[in-house]
A = this chain, B = another copy of it.
Amino acid sequence: MFGLSEGYREEIVGRVVRNLLDVQILRLVEVEPLWGYRIKKQFESDFNVKLRHGALYPTLNVLEQRGFLLSRRQQKDGRARKVYAITTSGREFLSSYYGVLREQIRC
């Protein structure tokens, strides 16, 4: 699946997604509006890293408080969801993140 030099990949992915959890959440929500439970599931399938909901929900609140996400309550099949969408500030924050990454790999 990965080349010879990719032996440390899992460790690095784990560290990046854990330390930059808020950024990774923004990256997912940037594609389409999502709610906590979907984010958790997608996180685990995308990165193969367990995401505690005890860490996720407080982080979502912080992202909304910072103005990077905006939530609206949604009723779907009797389920009360809190759907988050990215804001302009959120996109700017991601833009800064991608800028730093580009400097790191210089491409």
Q: Which residues of A contact B (CB under 8 A)?
A: 2, 4-9, 11-13, 15-16, 19-20, 23, 27, 91-93, 95-102, 104-105, 107
Known: A5-B95, A8-B97. 14 other contacts (CB 8 A): A5-B91, A5-B96, A5-B99, A6-B96, A9-B99, A12-B93, A12-B97, A13-B100, A15-B20, A16-B20, A19-B19, A27-B104, A101-B104, A107-B107
What are 19 A-B contacts with C-beta separation under 8 Å?
Answer: A4-B92, A5-B91, A5-B92, A6-B96, A7-B92, A8-B92, A9-B100, A12-B23, A12-B93, A13-B100, A15-B20, A16-B104, A19-B19, A19-B20, A27-B104, A98-B105, A101-B104, A101-B105, A107-B107
| Nearest-Cβ distance from residue A22 to partner chain B, whole angstroms | 10
Instruction: Determine the distance from Cα of A104 to Cα of B96 in the docked complex, in whole angstroms.
Output: 13
Number of copies: 2
Chain A at the B interface: SS class: helix
